[in-house]
Structure 1
Amino acid sequence: MVRHRALRITLAAVMCAAAVQPAVAAEVRDRATEVLAQRLFPMLDAMGRSPETITRLRADRSLATTLATRAKRTAACAEAAPCVAEAALWDEQELAALAHAVERNAAPLLRDRRLVPDDGLASGLAREIRGLNAIVRVYALGMPARYPSIDGPSAAFGSTEAQTRLAAAVRLRNTPRAGSLQTLDPSMELGLALLDVNDRTDASGFEPIDGGDNAAAMARARGLDWSRYRYTAVVLTGIGPEVPDMPLSPGGKYHVRLAANRFADGDAPFIIVSGGRAHPHGTPHNEAAEMRRALIERYGVPAEAIVIEPYARHTTTNLRNATRRLMALGAPLDREALIVCNPDQSRMIESPAFGERNRRELGYEPGVIGRRLSPTELTFRPDPRSARIDPLDPLDP
């Protein structure tokens, strides 16, 4: 009797203990973060979505040593969020160890040529890791963004609001998410969370880019005879407003009419309108979307003839991203497009200084600037190197 009562007490204690034990958190999909990860870190994201690849990487002895060092560095921070952010940075030796391990263990995954850029696995992976470091430095550690007037967090570094956002990002980095790299290293999840909590997910706002407003143009391109046209597209560059709540700048209205006139000549099948949500800082208006609206509503340009490129924040990336859209359309890259913009911007695009800026900021020129046809028109032959993803600009990689 006593033994049976003791057994009942023991079983009850076990059941009670089981009831208060926290359940293992399920890995849920976060669709918004998935899209942002694919835009910023396509190679790292693909590894996170491949359990077999993660298993092989975790078993790689050299990488395991590096990851253990990084984990120990983070553990020493306890709950200090700025310390955790600092510990998440990758140094060059750690980056090299990761690159070598990926080359040894991720070959089946990286046979997908859409993931590996034209300059190779090591270069692409280095850009993703250095971009990740840049996100942490700007959004967690208070370093200035490349263009601080339009980029970076809204909350002042060191403010209570900034500290609250950082603390949330640090907690998010270890909250399970299906398809993430958290079980290998949580630094990429920290970078994504920092952008999320700062409401700077600009890079994913129009995905899938070839659907939505671009769906009609993409469908038309599939059956297009490109040889019928002198130019593959009119590329309309952005010129953002500096006044809050202004949807389209005065210069933008001028650009739109220039493009409408040029399109009416019938020399190009599409107008590519390029411009993101950049000016002024925190504006709710997207320049490409506003230019598209004006072309349709004011000038009667058919929607199937307009391609939006809604991410570019600079003239350099106007041309890079327009090239990406031409590639998506299936346009022949050995044919010229036509850049249309105001005379001042057109002269700047033609200048040697602009070529140098492209080489400095992008690492290449997104195409060859050709003949000048008028004060507002330049020919442009796009370069496929523009397809390289570079999260050093996390709002437009």
Structure 2
Amino acid sequence: MRHRMTRVATLLATAAVMLATVPASAGAVRDVTVEKLSQRLFPLLDAIGRDAAARDAIMRSPGMSALLAARQQRSTACASDLACNAQALIWTDAEVQAVAGAVAAAHRLPASDDGRGAQARRELEGLNIIVQTYGLGQVSRYPKIDGSGPLEPLEQRSRLQAADWLSRTPRAHSAQGFDASVDYALALLDGGDRIDAIGFDPLTDGLNAAAMARAKSLDWKAYRYSAMIVTGVGPEVDGMALSPWGKYHLRLAASRFAKGETPFIIVSGGRAHPRATPFTEAEEMRNVLIERHGIPADAILIEPYARHTTTNLRNAARLAMAMGAPLDRDMLIVCNPQQSGYIESPIFAARNMAELGYEPGKIGRRLSPTELLFRPSPQSARVDPRDPLDP
């Protein structure tokens, strides 16, 4: 085993020398998967990579060239120390503040509802979280479902080395001309098979296509509620596609749908429990609604990314916006009495503010132990890569 590890280390070192000699003119090819992931997680930084004029304007900001050069020197000084290089790519508070200020003045770039500067801070902090969690093995906010999990030292080294190489190998439409950290973080996620954030994009197609098409000509005023949100409760057992609680939620949803007061059921739940499960909860929920409860496919929308109750509601609000549902009409949240009580509690409101920075909508009156009204907020469209599996 020791001989094998020594041989692998030698090959890695040799390859590093070879890669360093690759000329910059070798050409930049597209990687459509990484490209999609970049656009999804880092819309502003990705735009900087694509828009040369905007990038040049940011580079002309006082002190920016020196800042980026210092970051490059910090990384170069690490030589072959992979952990050192990962740490060198972390954005300091001062660097984040400087970039946010420069980006705020770059009017060619897209802006979120709270401005370009705030979005820049979220994206740079998101880069830090990815490097720290998936590169340096730091404990994540949700360690049971996030992070890489236990890794052999050789595999950890392999991922760090590949991320370093990929961050310096030209990729078309990338932000590499601005800073290496973007492609480095993307490579860490891709190398660890955690590209969850684009697993079902675009959400308007695929399993949602029929419902989205129906929504285009729907008379929303004919229904009391624009949609029903069915929250997920992920299983904690390996190999289990849907938890007993989830099956209860679906029986409730099918019974409520039969009353004819809502045109759509949004089933919400990602690939979360247990860690690295092959099952996407929303997809499994859709199957049960169709096969066991006879709900038409064009009445169901999957929201396959949420991994928490906070993002169940946020992502359902995003789907409502995508299908053109009026945001001044109530949606209906259906779930078990315990989760329903939690959703209307001050604890849940505080958690939204702490983790999202806003409330994804207004919780309305209670209709029953398992039903609450919900009015979605446009703030839910805000992209936040600090949760890189569901930004």
Aligned-partner SS, 1:379: strand
Instruction: State yes or no: 1:325 paired with 2:319.
Output: yes
Name the structure 1 match of 2:38.
37
Name the structure 2 match of 1:315.
309
CA distance in 1, matches of 2:165, 2:149: 20
- 1:152 aligned partner, one-letter code: G
- 2:75 aligned partner, one-letter code: T
- Which of 182, 186, 194 aligns to 2:176? It is 182
Instruction: State yes or no: 1:119 paired with 2:101.
Output: no
Residues 1-397 of structure 1 correspond to what in structure 2 (within 5 A)?
24-104=25-105, 106-108=106-108, 110=109, 115-156=110-151, 159-397=153-391
CA separation of 1:22 and 1:116: change in aligned 2, threshold 3 A: closer
CA distance in 1, matches of 2:63, 2:87: 23
**TM, length-normalised to structure 1:** 0.90
CA distance in 2, matches of 1:103, 1:188: 19
- 2:145 aligned partner, one-letter code: I
Name the structure 1 match of 2:7.
none
**Is the 8 Å Cα contact of residues 248 and 291 (structure 1) preserved in structure 2?**
yes
CA separation of 1:160 and 1:391: change in aligned 2, threshold 3 A: same
Identity score, percent: 58
CA RMSD, Structure 1 to Structure 2 (Å): 1.5
**Is the 8 Å Cα contact of residues 85 and 141 (structure 1) preserved in structure 2?**
yes
CA distance in 2, matches of 1:318, 1:23: 44
CA distance in 1, matches of 2:179, 2:325: 40
CA distance in 2, matches of 1:131, 1:103: 18
CA separation of 1:119 and 1:300: change in aligned 2, threshold 3 A: same
CA distance in 2, matches of 1:219, 1:371: 31
Q: Decide which moves more: 49-58 or 185-194.
A: 49-58
Shift in Å, 1:100? 2.6
CA distance in 2, matches of 1:286, 1:308: 10
Shift in Å, 1:23? 8.3
Aligned-partner SS, 1:372: strand
CA distance in 1, matches of 2:223, 2:367: 16
**Is the 8 Å Cα contact of residues 232 and 331 (structure 1) preserved in structure 2?**
yes
**Is the 8 Å Cα contact of residues 100 and 118 (structure 2) preserved in structure 1?**
no
**Is the 8 Å Cα contact of residues 233 and 338 (structure 1) preserved in structure 2?**
yes
**TM, length-normalised to structure 2:** 0.92
Residue ranges of structure 1 left out of the alignment (5+ in a row): 1-19
CA distance in 1, matches of 2:268, 2:32: 26
Aligned-partner SS, 1:338: strand
Shift in Å, 1:70? 0.7
Q: After superposition, give the CA deviation of every residue in 1:50-87 in whole Å (9 maximum; x if it has no partner).
A: 23323333344521111111111111011211111111
CA distance in 2, matches of 1:278, 1:90: 28
Q: How many residues align?
A: 371
